Amino acid sequence: MAFYDDVKKKTSRQRRADAFARSEAAQGPRRAPREEKPAKRPPREDRRPPAPPPAEEAELQEAQPYLLSGRNPIREALRSGRDLEKLLVARGELSGSAREIVAMARQQHVPVIETDRARLDAITHNHQGLLAFASAYRYATVEEMLALARERGEAPLLVILDGVTDPHNLGAVIRTAECAGAHGVIVKERRAVGLTPAAVKASAGAVEYMKVARVTNLSSTIEALKQQGLWIFAADAQGEDYAGVDFSGPLALVVGAEGEGVSRRVLENCDRRVALPLRGRLNSLNASVAAGILLYAAVRRRA
């Protein structure tokens, strides 16, 4: 009886094993269990605006005392006639008051630059979509420069900068022009540096005595100066050697940006092109150095 029970148990176990084997065969080979990858953490949103490059950040630090943030301060600065270097406007739809401020700025020939809101956030908060940079010093007019020459009983001597964007170059030109006894420096309104804090600092105090004018169109200004009897000489690599040029008389010297030089349209309006000889491997001089050489060529002729 015990033997019969053992056989019965084995038979029952065998039947279950056979049934399991048939089930496995029907299902095919088992796949290896899939490894569960750790759940990805959602990317952390960095809400801080991107930091400006180091050089730009240093310039922004210097400009902080001249920074106007928000609509009311900028509107009142425009109404009072304060000189502004530029107005930054956040891209997108502007409300009525912002459109009014932009219109006032353009009417006063203040460069208006559209930029991303994040760019404004990187400079300051609570800007209401508008930021303005006030000039670090008051601009004069070309008429005031010519009046100064008449008061001194001298032939006008002016420097015109075409597309110079480096504030240190502008400051150096202002300093040299003051030392040479010039009557003024003229800069472009757009795509050029103006009287920023860095330019005023680089002038080493000369801006207190040298008139600087900002004009909308250099070609029109040159034509007006010609009507006043000034000769217009442009620094140009294809011009005649400056050593043989007569720099006496009423004169305006035009100097372009380093590497780019004087623009074609401005060159076409100049009376004469003068070149500074280059004996080395480089093909251009620093703008402030070129202006200094030509200024003192004029000083020597006037002595």
Question: So where are the chain's domains?
Answer: 56-134, 142-302
Q: How far is CA 32 from CA 29, 35, 38, in A?
A: 9, 9, 18
Provide the token pair at 250.
């009423």
Superfamily of domain 56-134: Ribosomal protein L30/S12 (3.30.1330.30)
Spatial separation of the C-alpha atoms in residues 303 and 301, rounded to whole Å:
6
Percent of the chain with pLDDT over 90: 50
CB of 174 within 8 A of CB of 199? yes
Rounded to whole angstroms, the Cα distance separating 157 from 212 reads 13
Q: Please write down the HEC assignment for all residues of 195-254.
A: CCHHHHHHCCCHHHCCCEEEECCHHHHHHHHHHCCCEEEEEEEEEEEHHHCCCCCCEEEE
pLDDT at residue 3, as a whole number: 44
pLDDT digits (tens, 9 = 90+) for 84-141: 888 999 887 677 788 899 999 999 888 898 888 888 888 887 788 898 888 888 899 9
Domain 142-302 in this protein, CATH class: alpha beta
pTM over cut 0.85:
no
Q: Is 218 helix (H, G, I), strand (E, B) or coil?
A: helix
Alpha-carbon distance of 229 to 164, in angstroms, equals 26
More confident residue, 138 or 143: 143
- Which one-letter amino acid corresponds to residue 12? S
Q: Which of 256, 263, 250 is nearest to 235 (CA)?
A: 256
Average pLDDT over all residues of the chain: 84
Please give the DSSP secondary-structure letter assigned to residue 129. T
